[in-house]
Amino acid sequence: MCSTCGCGGEDGSTRVTLVDGHTHDHTHDHDHAHDHPHDHGTRTVLLEQDILAKNDLLAAATRHRLTEHAITAINLMSSPGSGKTTLLERTITDLDGRRETLVIEGDQETWLDAQRIRSTGSKVVQINTGAGCHLDAQMLDRGLAELAPPDGSLVFVENVGNLVCPALFDLGEAARVVIISVTEGADKPAKYPYMFRTADLVLLNKIDLLPYVDFDVDLCLELIHRVKPDVELLPVSATRGDGLDAWHDWLANRSSAAAPRSEYPRRG
């Protein structure tokens, strides 16, 4: 079990699942010490720091490798139901082959979202975390090895729907995008500040529903800027298409500056 957030099975295992149904057992590289009854708090903190330090080292190596191959990885994070998968479907369709786009899907169970992405023609790998509430750098590393993205490609990582733990784990991504929808509370940035503080971009989704919901846009934007004053904000509707040109331009500007090298290495 992951000491940082308490997620995962008893053996820390997750499953990396290809959309064709191929399943691979995968184990967290988490060290688990036995706490002394009188220093539980101290040992827990040290263990959490150790887990995050190991994760960050692997994330840094992944980021370096992706940059070498001019692969841009975008980590999408949000609450469940904010519209991440719908946004991905629309984005892949709108890009229409202008840049090869691949997806890593993170969910606790099922490959329903992966099947939706596959229907767009994009290559996709599903990562099922079981009881886990987030993706980490080791999961992404294994997912990339299965996905084998070509040089110069764009890889979206749809993280597990959760506004807490995904913010703690660097995956090696080029950028983090946090999606909040108008069907959620406008106070989410105040309740979950760390998630919004780590964002490179915030998308306010489902703006086509504003006439039908009680959502204070001004308050939400104010709370986001209190947490991170310089973060970029884009109002969008993944279903109607509002604001998606600006979203596409943002993605184009996030492209890696590194020149492509050889094919992204697969694991043996």
What residue ranges do the domains of the chain occupy? 49-253
Residue found under tokens 């929808």: 181
The predicted model scores a pTM of 0.83
| β pairing state of 124-128 and 13-18 | antiparallel
CATH topology of domain 49-253: Rossmann fold (3.40.50)
Query: Which pLDDT score, from 0 to 100, does residue 254 have?
Result: 87
The mean per-residue pLDDT over the stretch 123-127 comes to 96
Query: Which pLDDT score, from 0 to 100, does residue 87 have?
Result: 98
Dist CA 45 CA 68 (whole Å): 35
Dist CA 198 CA 202 (whole Å): 10
Quote the mean pLDDT of the chain. Answer: 85
The mean per-residue pLDDT over the stretch 19-37 comes to 47
Q: How confident is the model at residue 98 (pLDDT cuts 50, 70, 90)?
A: confident
Query: Which pLDDT score, from 0 to 100, does residue 263 have?
Result: 41
What are 127-137's pLDDT values in tens digits? 999 888 999 99
Q: How confident is the model at residue 166 (pLDDT cuts 50, 70, 90)?
A: very high
The mean per-residue pLDDT over the stretch 190-212 comes to 97
Query: Which pLDDT score, from 0 to 100, does residue 43 have?
Result: 55
